[in-house]
Chain A
Amino acid sequence: MAAAQDTGGEAAAGKWYTAAKATYTTLIDTGHAISSAYQLVNVPSGVWIDERGRIVRPSETAAPKNQELKIGGKTINTQGDAYVAALRDWVAKGESSEFVMSDAEYRRRVKERSPREREADACFKLAVALHDRGREDEARQWWLRAQTLSPDNWNYHRQDWSFTSEAGKKWMDKFQKTTTDYYPKLELKEKP
């Protein structure tokens, strides 16, 4: 199922679902509830969940195909081909797929939120609620507070920037300064 992390709601996200002729479940997650619950910090992110409601693979970049994007002197690689192949393998083989993550690897990757990240999450939700009430000036200070507390969370930045006229410039400025990979390198296979 797809979940638009869009405080702008159907007006912002709907046309993309229509253009994609989506046949799957199409969610409009105005409060970013799914990113909050699954600790997702960018889009696109994917989580695999099995028939019993157990997380098979936690947050990873979930691109549909390989893309090499050269932007601002840097390169973004999406590694989508390998991701989709791994997903198909799991769908076919279930528990015996080599892409079902071990508990040890899962614990290595998934960390509890820090107190600052927990506060950032509460600030972001407050900003969304103020935005929904048309209180943009008050919302602004809480968008910014969330970004200050959790600077690596691209969702917090980009949702806020979408309500300004400078989203592209602000993204480029932060992208240029970021030293880590915009999309962390996929590690689909575990080391034995």
Chain B
Amino acid sequence: MVNRRLLLFGGATALTGAPQARATVLYGDREVELTTSRVEKGDLWIPFGDLPGINEFSIKPQGACRADICIPLPKELKRKGWLNLSGFARKVKQAVVNDGALWSFGEIPTLRGGFPESRLAPDFAVKDRKGDTVRLTDFRGRKILLLTWASW
């Protein structure tokens, strides 16, 4: 007898986790709403195509790649066009925590370029009082004192 379940879901490797309603991923200063995602054993799975919008990596035959960095992906992190984003995070030593459908991913150490080594000032995109986005790179050619303060 044919296993209808296998046929429906495209084989034993299909994801069986329930679709999650509108998961939101936080990474750096980005907040990305996913139209489709799944959770299985506590891990967030996303379609390959959503990865670049989150962290600028894209799926290639050699792994997840961004600029000149490629992270090889073990086959258990991929399933028919879906990526285990939580598993990828663990592989690159990235913290991940979630509260329901809101997922927060920490910094990816390898992308920090060895923050203590490079001395390259990390770029940021933060709004000013008028609501305009300001980037550090807008100020190339000028000396900057970056000064934090708070009202609290």
Closest 6 CB pairs of A and B: A122-B106, A162-B152, A126-B104, A119-B95, A37-B122, A122-B95
Digitize B65-101: 1 where CB-to-A-CB distance is under 8 Å, 0 elsewhere: 0000000000000000000000000000111111110
B118 to chain A, nearest CB (A): 9
- Please indicate the chain B residues that have their CB under 8 angstroms from the CB of A52 in the complex: 140
Q: Which residues of B contact A (CB under 8 A)?
A: 24, 26, 28-29, 31, 93-100, 102, 104-107, 109, 112, 114-117, 119-122, 124-129, 134, 136-137, 139-152
Check B95 against A118 for contact (C-beta < 8 Å): yes
- Judge whether A49 is part of the interface by a CB distance below 8 angstroms: yes
Whether A192 is near chain B, meaning CB under 8 Å from some CB there, is no
Q: How many residues of A contact B (CB 8 A)?
A: 74
Write the chain A residue with the least CB distance to B31.
A129
* Beta-carbon contact of B109 and A118 below 8 Å: yes
Total number of residue pairs linking A and B with CB closer than 8 Å: 189
On A, residues with C-beta under 8 Å from B are 1-6, 8, 10, 12-14, 16-17, 25-31, 33-40, 43-55, 62, 87, 90-91, 94, 103, 106-107, 110-113, 115, 118-119, 121-123, 125-126, 129-130, 133, 135, 138, 142, 145, 155, 158-159, 161-162, 167
Q: Which of B24, B96, B98, B145 has the most CB of A within 10 A?
A: B145
A5 in contact with B107 given A27-B128, A48-B143 (CB within 8 Å): no
Say whether A129 contacts B121, CB under 8 Å.
Answer: no
> In angstroms, how far is the closest chain A Cβ from the Cβ of B123?
8
How far, in whole Å, are A140 and B142 apart by their CA atoms in the complex? 40
Q: Please, which residues of chain B bring their CB within 8 A of the CB of A130? A: 99, 102
Contact in complex: B152, A3 (CB < 8 Å): no
Inter-chain contact B104/A106, CB cutoff 8 Å: no
The CA of A80 and the CA of B26, in the complex, are separated in Å by 36
| Minimal beta-carbon separation of A77 from chain B (angstroms) | 18
* Docked CA distance A115–B146 (Å): 26
Contact sample, A vs B, 23 pairs, CB 8 Å cutoff:
A1-B134, A1-B147, A3-B148, A25-B134, A28-B129, A34-B148, A43-B149, A44-B149, A46-B147, A47-B121, A53-B121, A53-B136, A87-B145, A91-B143, A94-B143, A112-B109, A118-B107, A123-B95, A126-B98, A126-B99, A155-B150, A159-B150, A162-B151
